[in-house]
């Protein structure tokens, strides 16, 4: 198996992190992988907001938990890469998903852990978070696609999850 396939096969969603902050260099490599994702008509609709500020990270987790009726939904990860996408591109949700997938693999290749955390859409529909987007300079109409929480895994690395059978059809 080549290195890319090995990385794909061994990536897991990490659901426990130490509070050690990844280097800016590694965070930027993960972001770069996200920016390199394919996009419909090459519109490059996704936008990535890299949150390392603890107060903002905690506020995002609090609203995420409120939407899910659960606490600790970011699993202690110190970094949140929020993926939003400009709605003008008709494939914006798919584009944002490609961005998140690339970043998950890049994180794993660098020895970092990552997990897609849902509920970015309702979070960034809230007036206070729309206002926050404007404050940081995002003025276009965007939709929240997903949060990628990022950091160093703590505890045991998750076991491989068997993939369901019967999901591939060959037409020769
Ligand atoms: C669209 C999407 C949304 C997800 N949302 C969450 C989430 O909100 N919380 C969470 O703990 N994991 C979330 N995950 C991670 C899944 O739980 C995980 O991908 C799945 O259990 C398979 O495990 P694996 O990624 O290790 O193969 C999400 C994954 C995807 C693709």
Q: Long-range contacts: 134-141, Cβ < 8 Å, 24+?
A: 136/49, 138/47, 138/49, 138/84, 140/86, 140/88, 141/86, 141/87, 141/88
What's the Rg (C-alpha) of the chain?
A: 16
Instruction: Quick: pLDDT tens for 69-126.
Output: 999 999 999 999 999 999 999 999 999 999 999 999 999 999 999 999 999 999 999 9
Cβ–ligand 1 contact at 117 (below 6 Å): yes
> What pLDDT, on a 0 to 100 scale, did the predictor assign at position 51?
98
> How many angstroms is it from 79 CA to the middle of ligand 1?
17
CATH topology of domain 16-151: NADH Oxidase (3.40.109)
For residue 33, give the nearest of 97, 94, 106, 84 by alpha carbon.
106
> How many angstroms is it from 131 CA to the middle of ligand 1?
28
Parse the chain into domains and list their residue ranges: 16-151
Beta-bridge partner residues of 123: none
Task: From 14, 97, 116, give the residue whose CB has the most ligand 1 atoms within 8 Å, as the site to mutate.
Answer: 116
The residue whose C-alpha atom lies closest to atom 16 belonging to ligand 1 is: 13
- pTM metric for this prediction: 0.97
DSSP code at position 166:
S
> How many angstroms is it from 102 CA to the middle of ligand 1?
14
């Amino acid at each position: 198996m080549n290195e890319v396939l090995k990385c794909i096969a061994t990536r897991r969603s990490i659901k426990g992190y130490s509070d050690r902050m990844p280097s800016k260099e590694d965070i930027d490599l993960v972001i770069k992988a996200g920016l390199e994702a394919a996009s419909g008509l090459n519109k490059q609709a996704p936008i990535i907001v890299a949150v390392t500020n603890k107060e903002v990270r905690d506020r995002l987790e609090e609203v995420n938990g409120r939407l899910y009726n659960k606490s600790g939904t970011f699993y202690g990860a110190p970094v949140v890469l929020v993926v939003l996408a400009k709605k003008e591109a008709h494939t914006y949700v798919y584009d944002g998903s490609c961005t998140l997938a690339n970043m998950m693999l890049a994180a794993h290749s660098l020895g970092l852990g990552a997990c897609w955390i849902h509920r970015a859409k309702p979070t960034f529909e809230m007036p206070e978070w729309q206002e926050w987007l404007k404050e940081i300079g995002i003025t276009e109409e965007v939709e929240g696609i997903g949060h990628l929480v990022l950091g160093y895994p703590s505890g045991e690395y998750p076991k491989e999850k068997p993939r369901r059978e019967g999901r591939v059809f060959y037409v020769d």
